[in-house]
Amino acid sequence: MEKLIIQGPSVLTGSVSVGGFKNAAVAVLPATIIQAGVYNLENIPDITDIDCIQAIFNKKGMEWSNVSSNTIRIDTRSLDTYDFTDDEMSSIRASIYFAGALLSRFGHAIVALPGGCNFGERPIDLHIKGFEALGATVRQEYGKLFVDAPNGLKGASIYLDTVSVGATVNIMLAAVKAEGSTTIENAAKEPHIVDLANFLNNMGAKIRGAGTDVIKITGVKELKGHTAYTIVQDMIEAGTFMIAAAATKGNVFVRNVIPKHMESLTAKLEEMGVGVEAGDDFVHIFPKDWPLDKAVIKTMPYPGFPTDLHPQMATLLTQAQGDSTIKETVWLTRFQYANELNRMGARIDVNCPVASIHGGQPLTGAPVSANDLRAGAALVIAGLCATGTTAVSGVHYIDRGYENLVDKFRQLGADIERVED
Ligand code: EPZ
C-alpha cells in the first residue's frame, strides 16, 4: 500500500492547471457504446476510475488506444454482448451508466450492481424508475440488474423525486434512440450533464435543456458512429486547489477553469475574506483578510455548493476563526473525514447531517486515513496546513479522481511525496 507523506506547514504559490472532469468522462465513455463507431476523446483524466472503464471496454473486445496522455481513441463497432458483469463493474459508481447505453444499443442490458465511494447508501431506484417509464422491464437479482425492452423503448415524461446526477445521465443514455420524446423533470443541472448532452448531440442526438431542470430528448433512429470530443474541465479538482491555496494563505492561479462553474465556492471564499479574482479561464486565489472568517455551508445540487467539496471545505474552516457549520444534504453520512481531522487537532463535532467546526485550532501532523476520494483530498490539504509530518493512507481513493495530485501540489511548493508503506 502507498502513503502520502506531507511536511507542513507550507504556503502554496504559483499556478496549476486543471484536467478533464472525472464525472463527465465516466458518463461520456459508456455513451460511445450506444452507436457502433470510432470516437476520439480529449481531456480524459489519467485516473484509476478511467483505467477501470478501459478494462471493461477491453474485456468486451472493444479497442481502446491511448493516442496521448489525455487523448484516447475508442472503437465500439465490435461489441456483440450486453452482459456487463465483470468484477470491475462493482468497483465504480459510474458502471451503472452501461445499463442505459446497452439498453439503447441492444434493447437489453445485464449489468453488475455498481460500487463507488462508500459514504452510505447509494440507491438506484430513480435509474430503474426511468428505464421502466421508457417501457423496459427491470429485475434485480444475484447482484445484477436485468433490463429488457424487447419491443424497443418509448419516450416518456419522467419526474425525478430527488435531483440525481446518475439517474439524469442514465435516462439520457436510454432515451436518445427511444421512439418519440422524453422529458426529464427535476433533472440534475451539473456541468457534466451538459457535457454529456453536448457529446450525444455531437453524435446526432436531439437533446435540449441540459443544464436546466427540464431536459427534452427527441428520439432518433440512428446516431453518427463517430465524433471527436473534448471533456469539460474538472470543477471539483479546481475547487480542491482553490481551497488548498486559501487554507495555506497561498497565492495561486488555478488555470483551465470555467469560473462560472466555481461561483458557489468563490462566493463562500470571498465571504470568509479570501482574495479571489476570476479571469476568462482561471481563478486567482490570494491572501486578503487573515485570520479568515467562519462560514455557514449547505451542500446542494448544482449550482449550489457541491457536496464533493464538503470535506475539503471542512479543512479550510478549521483554519478560520469562530464556529462554522456544514450541512450535508446529498450524502447524509459523508463525515468520515471529521475523525481524521480531529486526530490532527481539529475540533469538529458531527451530528449528522451537520458538522460543527470550531475554528482557530492549529493542526499538527499525524497518521490519517482516507476512505473516500474527497476525504483524501481534505486530509492532504490538512497536512499542508499542519505543523509536522502527516502520513495519509488510502491513496488509492485519491488516485480514483485526481491526476498527478502529488506533482501538482509539489509544483505549488508543497513538501509532499508518495512512498511505499
Ligand atoms: C454523482 O454521484 C457523482 N459521481 C458524485 O461524485 C457526486 O457526489 C454526486 O453525483 C452528487 O453530485 C459520479 O458522477 C460518478 P446522485 P451519483 O444520483 O450519481 C439520491 C465524487 O467524489 N438518489 O446525484 O451517485 C442519492 O442517495 C463522487 O466524484 C436516490 O435516491 O449521485 C443522493 O442522496 C462522489 N435514488 C442524491 O440522490 C437514485 O436512484 C444524489 O445522488 C439515485 C440517487
HSE on the CB side for 397, CA within 13 Å? 23
Judgement on whether residues 275 and 216 belong to the same structural domain of the protein: no
| Domain assignment of residue 147, given as a range | 22-230
- Among 230, 261, 283, the domain boundary falls at 230
Residue of higher predicted confidence among 115 and 121: 115
Question: What is the pLDDT at residue 421?
Answer: 79
**Ligand 1 pocket check for 238: Cβ under 6 Å:** no
- What's the rounded mean pLDDT across residues 113-137? 91
Judgement on whether residues 29 and 81 belong to the same structural domain of the protein: yes
Tell me the per-residue pLDDT of 327-338, one tens digit each, with 9 for 90 and over.
999 999 899 999
Judgement on whether residues 321 and 218 belong to the same structural domain of the protein: no
The label of the residue with cell 421508457 reads: 134
Judgement on whether residues 145 and 268 belong to the same structural domain of the protein: no
Identify whether 117 is a catalytic site residue: yes
Q: How many Å apart are CA 360 and CA 346, to the nearest integer? A: 9
Nearest CA to ligand 1 atom 41: 164
Cis peptide before 150 (omega within 30 of 0): no
Tell me the per-residue pLDDT of 378-391, one tens digit each, with 9 for 90 and over.
999 999 999 999 99
Judgement on whether residues 212 and 307 belong to the same structural domain of the protein: no
pTM value is 0.98
Sorted by sequence, the CB contacts under 8 Å of residue 99 that are 6+ apart come out as 109, 111, 127, 131, 145, 147, 170, 174
- What's the rounded mean pLDDT across residues 131-155? 97
- Looking at ligand 1, which atom is closest to the CA of residue 92? 15
Judgement on whether residues 37 and 158 belong to the same structural domain of the protein: yes
Going by C-alpha positions, the residue among 69, 134, 58, 63 that lies closest to residue 99 is 134
Q: Evaluate whether 103 touches 120 at the Cβ level (below 8 Å).
A: no
Q: Could you give the residue ranges of the DSSP H alpha helices within 73-221? A: 97-106, 125-133, 165-175, 191-202
Judgement on whether residues 266 and 213 belong to the same structural domain of the protein: no
Q: What is the CATH number of the domain that holds 163?
A: 3.65.10.10
The label of the residue with cell 456544514 reads: 326
Question: What is the pLDDT at residue 116?
Answer: 79
Judgement on whether residues 365 and 259 belong to the same structural domain of the protein: yes
Q: Which of 28, 122, 328 to mutate to test the pocket of ligand 1 (most atoms within 8 A of CB)?
A: 122
- Among 183, 201, 230, the domain boundary falls at 230
Judgement on whether residues 140 and 275 belong to the same structural domain of the protein: no
Judgement on whether residues 113 and 153 belong to the same structural domain of the protein: yes
Indicate the pairing of strand 282-287 with strand 274-278: antiparallel
Indicate the pairing of strand 388-393 with strand 367-369: parallel
- The length of the chain, given as a count of residues: 421
What spacing in Å lies between the alpha carbon of 330 and ligand 1's midpoint?
7
**Ligand 1 pocket check for 328: Cβ under 6 Å:** no
pLDDT of 243 over the 80 cut: yes
What spacing in Å lies between the alpha carbon of 258 and ligand 1's midpoint?
22
- Among 230, 253, 268, the domain boundary falls at 230
Q: Evaluate whether 208 touches 183 at the Cβ level (below 8 Å).
A: no
What spacing in Å lies between the alpha carbon of 410 and ligand 1's midpoint?
31
**Among 84-93, 200-209, 214-223, which is the least confidently predicted range?**
84-93
Backbone φ and ψ of 237, nearest 5° = -65, -45
Q: How many Å apart are CA 341 and CA 224, to the nearest integer? A: 50
Judgement on whether residues 404 and 283 belong to the same structural domain of the protein: yes
C-alpha grid cell for residue 131?
428505464
What spacing in Å lies between the alpha carbon of 124 and ligand 1's midpoint?
9
pLDDT of 275 over the 80 cut: yes
Going by C-alpha positions, the residue among 267, 269, 237 that lies closest to residue 254 is 237
Judgement on whether residues 203 and 57 belong to the same structural domain of the protein: yes
Tell me the per-residue pLDDT of 346-388, one tens digit each, with 9 for 90 and over.
999 999 999 999 999 899 999 999 999 999 999 999 999 999 9
pLDDT of 72 over the 90 cut: yes
Kindly list the distances between the CA atom of residue 1 and the CA atoms of 6, 115, 341, 379, in Å, as whole numbers in the listed order: 17, 21, 21, 17
Assign 34 a pLDDT band (cuts: 50, 70, 90): very high
C-alpha grid cell for residue 281?
479561464
pLDDT of 285 over the 80 cut: yes
Residues 268-291, buried b or exposed e (16+ Cβ, 10 A)?
Answer: bbeebbbebeeeeebbbbbbeeee
For the chain, how many structural domains are there in total?
Answer: 2
